[in-house]
Amino acid sequence: MGVDPGLNATGYGVVECRPGDVRLLEAGVIRLPRSHGDNLPARLETLFDGLREVMAEFHPQAMCLEEVYTHRDYPRTSVLMGHARGVICLAARLASIPVVSFPAKRVKQSVTGNGNASKTQVQRAVQNFFSLACAPHPPDVADALAVAMCFRDSRRPSANGWPPKRGPHRAPRRTRP
């Protein structure tokens, strides 16, 4: 399951990966009501509830996200996105779903072949890959599907066998001395 975090709309895409086949099961947007205005906790609760519904229906094996990107001119945006990302990680953790993160450039490279691809290029690549009649809209949906596709690509060994097949990254267990 790929997720593109946002505080107005969070895109998600659920795909099923089998050897030689990837199927799109569902994709959509969790809209965070503007009626909540600046009430960040209420918006995050809406996000949490929406994710729990999708996870309960599809039981994903992994939750895939882009790493938070900080633009020097808009540091507040990355802080707010961190809140949304934290809620997504918590929802996954409570459902015992591992979380996997990728840099945005790696996601774009995986889907389009260009780490600096535009949103439109990502939308078209996702449209072509899944043979969709039109590009996923809003772009948050395409971004979520792109992250899921990147996860699939990261688990497929290359011709030289690298990267090796392994489970999603998990934090080491803490042990008490």
Residues that are catalytic:
4, 66, 140
Give the C-alpha separation, 157 to 150, whole Å.
13
Give the C-alpha separation, 31 to 8, whole Å.
6
Report the candidate in 170, 153, 171 with the shortest Cα–Cα distance to residue 162.
153
Half-sphere exposure of 9 (CA within 13 A, CB side): 13
Give the C-alpha separation, 88 to 24, whole Å.
21
Report the candidate in 150, 126, 104, 112 with the shortest Cα–Cα distance to residue 24.
126
